[in-house]
Amino acid sequence: MSANAVGHFAGTPVEFPAAATRSRWQAIKRGFRERCPNCGEGRMFRAYLKVVDTCPVCGEELFHHRADDAPPYLTILVVGHIVGGSMLVVEEINDTLPLWIHMVVWPILTVALSLYLLPRLKGALIGYQWALRMHGFDPALRDHDAPSEAL
């Protein structure tokens, strides 16, 4: 019995060395901290949402990610539940708050939380893609495309 993991790519069985398994949660946590999912040290972003082509510390290729619309979707999902739920709780606790307080607090909280979470959720998603060896994150299946212009 082989100790290697076996996956499939385009219908073809692909064997991965057992030592090359990647921890999904570790990669997600490192990505949420905006760090390289491989080493956990190098910065993942060169700007607010621009992913570096390769990790400056370990050289892992990060341009293979295809985060697309998932990070904004996740951000809206999380922020919407936090802010929406908080609005209902505050209204239940004190329904005599002046309307201007609601008009100031909730938009500021929404924007601040969104700006905080968007790059972190993008990093976590890229870490997850890396751990699952998606979109060229598997060195055995790389076609060595040039870095994409994807966000």
Residues lying near Zn ion in the complex (CB under 5 A): 36, 38-39, 42, 55, 57-58, 60
Nearer of residues 38 and 75 to Zn ion, judged by Cβ: 38
CB of 74 to Zn ion, least distance (A): 23
Nearer of residues 31 and 71 to Zn ion, judged by Cβ: 31
Nearer of residues 46 and 102 to Zn ion, judged by Cβ: 46
Buried b (16+ CB within 10 A) or exposed e, 18-52: eeeebeeeebbbbbbebbbbbebebebbeeeeebb
CB of 41 to Zn ion, least distance (A): 6
Nearer of residues 58 and 103 to Zn ion, judged by Cβ: 58
Nearer of residues 75 and 138 to Zn ion, judged by Cβ: 138
- How far apart (Å, rounded) are the C-alpha atoms in residues 67 and 88? 32
CB of 57 to Zn ion, least distance (A): 5
- How far apart (Å, rounded) are the C-alpha atoms in residues 108 and 83? 10
CB of 148 to Zn ion, least distance (A): 19
CB of 140 to Zn ion, least distance (A): 19
